[in-house]
Amino acid sequence: MIADMNAKDIVGDYQEVSLQLYGSVKRKILYTQIETPYPDGKLIVSTTNPEGIITHVNRSFVEMSGYREEELIGAPHSILRHPDMPPAAFKDLWDTVQRGEKWQGFVKNLRKDGGYYWVKATVIPNVRAGKVVGYTSVRRKPSRSKIEECCKLYPTLF
């Protein structure tokens, strides 16, 4: 399950909002305006089962999200869901990968400390012996100009 965010984990001034996640789950979100820059040369990788529950993360994922690996494995991937991300983006993600296709997009992710980081994400279905056994997302560093475009576009998609 997915726990509310905890004020003692937050670094800096924060706002509070309640987010409606998939399956009528509600989560209390505490978020700040502090950005963590994407580390040069690294890929942030995670894999989920077909239901979107995290089954594998690499070290960069742990470092950037601010969670410990044990907190991530078994959690829904919406643990990174930032309130500034329009729900339509994730509907498109799920519709695309469930058709068996690759999804690519720019995502603002929420850290455990309330801060955020932008990524360029590519999600693909993991097909083994003809069956989808999960999904893998690989994130890379986005360009500043793409982030600026998203900062203009995403608020219009709510």
Partner 1 sequence: MSFQFTVSPDFTPDHLSGWYIFNTWLQKQTGIAIHLEMYNDFQGQRDAIQADTVDLIYANPFDAAMLVREKGFLPLVKAEGAADEALIVVNADSAINDVADLKPGTRVAYTEDPDVRLMGMIMLEPGDLNNNNIVPVLADNYVLVAKHLLKVEADVGIFLAGAYDDLSAMVKNQLKVLVRSQISVIHHALMIGPRLQERREDIQNLLVEMSNDDKGRGVLQSLGFTVWQKVDNEEMEFMIDLMDTLNT
Ligand X SMILES: Cc1cc2nc3c(=O)[nH]c(=O)nc-3n(C[C@H](O)[C@H](O)[C@H](O)COP(=O)(O)O)c2cc1C
Binding partner 1 by CB under 8 A: which of 30, 45, 73, 89?
45
Site for ligand X in 85-104 (CB under 6 A): 85, 87, 90, 93
Q: Per CB under 8 A, does 78 bind partner 1?
A: no
Q: What is the DSSP string of 32-87?
A: -SPBPPPPTT--EEEEE-TTSBEEEE-HHHHHHH---HHHHTTSBGGGGB-TTS-H
Binding ligand X by CB under 6 A: which of 29, 57, 72, 81?
81
CB of 14 to ligand X, least distance (A): 18
d(CA 51, CA 35): 29
d(CA 134, CA 143): 28
Which residues in this chain contact partner 1 in the complex, by CB under 8 A? 38, 40-43, 45, 58, 60, 102, 104, 120, 122-124, 126, 128, 136-138, 140-146
